[in-house]
Chains A and B, each alone.
Chain A
Amino acid sequence: MSEDRFFDLAMKAIAKQTSPDEQAELDGLLTRQPELQQEYERLQADARLAKEVLPLLAAAQATEGKVPGYARERLRTKVRETYKNERRQESTFGARGVWRWWLSLAGAAAVVMAAVFFLRPTETVVQVAMLDSVGGIRGSASNLVAVIEQAWQKPKVVQYSEGADLKRWMAEWPEDRRSVVKIVYDRDAQEVRVSGRLKNRPGFEKTFVVNQEKDLPNVLKEVQQFIKEQTGR
């Protein structure tokens, strides 16, 4: 009698699929080899668990079903409330960007809430710097800083007037394993440079030209979009 045969007989018995001959064969086995009784009981327990857990595993593949209209606003409100609390505590791009995305989708869809969770507040850190070696001659940079801060809400914009200082800042990356995105608005070169080091993924770099400063808000939108694409969010 092979182990496989015993397994098949036991499984059939558990599912009440044994023929009289097979049941007699199993009973005979259990009588002759009492040590199999324990395995049989264990299989019964496993089968019981399998019946419970298989529908839950299948649930993960489900694709049908929408948030009903009456519940959308309730869900949106819930997300907004949670978002407000998050905003008070966190200042990363991840928290804000994804929550905003979630807010827009909350009413419409499914468990696309995924992204809310992927970008945990501490997961992607955005650091922003501005290089402006001319400064005063071109006028105050405070408006530009405000524009940049508005784009990412909280990250403080570090201002440099020396390229060497900026270079040093660019070389400093957090030692922990968080994903970090560094954004530099180089006012001298009229460009925005983006560098990312992502957790468990290749990094990225891109330069965006700012033809005129009044275009900066639009360029920053492109930068945001690019970062979203690169971070997968």
Chain B
Amino acid sequence: MPVALAGARAKLEAYFPGEVEDIALEALEELVEKKEGVTSLDHLRNLTISIAHGRAISLLRKRFSKKRGAGETVSLDESVDGDTKTLDVPSPESQLDNLNQGELAELLDRLQVNLKQDYREALNDFHLLDLSYEEIASKHGWARGTVSSYLNRGMKAIREAVGQHPKLMKELKAFLRLLLLL
């Protein structure tokens, strides 16, 4: 349950926190049917997260679609921006959203192995907590150069994990093309 909750929360907390528990429960029910192919606790956790994440994405799409009018397929980014209230949250859409549960679980499996704990902490602090290099160094008692090194290696580990995933690579390339147009 904690993993399912956290998986759902990662996507829904900013938009529909009240739905987190329901989505987590739905994910657990779905998980019961998906036992084939699960070989380790780590994979089970990642599959749980993937299912919760997928269900959260579906909910977001549905809710935003309703706001815009049934039957209309719209970007979640547009929905948020188009709302009268501008939400100060990261875009709910990501390259991950188009992966199926198995693919996302596989990616997470790979990252759990490749992304060492120190790298993960450095990346978390930098990308999610918006800490500066100096703040991260101070927090962990690392040298500033170590922070740089961990971030660099962590980003490479993510890149390598994604590189082994054709669908995600395609998404990334599309994103890069978009960047070039801007």
User: Contact residue range for chain A?
Assistant: 35 or more
B127 touches A67 (CB 8 A): no
Contacts A42-B176, A82-B33, A120-B35 known; A57 to B128 CB distance under 8 Å? Answer: no
B115 within 8 A of A: yes
Closest residue to A70 on the B side, CB-wise?
B25
User: Contact residue range for chain B?
Assistant: 35 or more
Nearest chain B CB to A218's CB is how many angstroms away? 31
**Residues in B152-176 with C-beta less than 8 Å from chain A:** 152, 154-155, 158-159, 162, 168, 172, 175-176
A79 within 8 A of B: yes
B1 touches A110 (CB 8 A): yes
How far is A53 from B57 in the complex, measured between Cα atoms in Å?
14
Nearest chain B CB to A184's CB is how many angstroms away? 29
How far is A59 from B96 in the complex, measured between Cα atoms in Å?
15
B65 within 8 A of A: no
Give which listed residue, B35, B45, B176, contacts A60 with CB less than 8 A. Answer: B45
Closest residue to B154 on the A side, CB-wise?
A50
A64 touches B115 (CB 8 A): no
Complex interface: chain A residues within 8 A of B49 (CB)? 56, 59-60
How far is A83 from B39 in the complex, measured between Cα atoms in Å?
19
B130 touches A15 (CB 8 A): yes
Complex interface: chain B residues within 8 A of A54 (CB)? 120, 123-124, 127-128
Sorted nearest first, the 9 A-B pairs with minimum C-beta distance are A59-B6, A117-B38, A62-B6, A55-B10, A52-B94, A62-B2, A65-B5, A65-B2, A110-B1
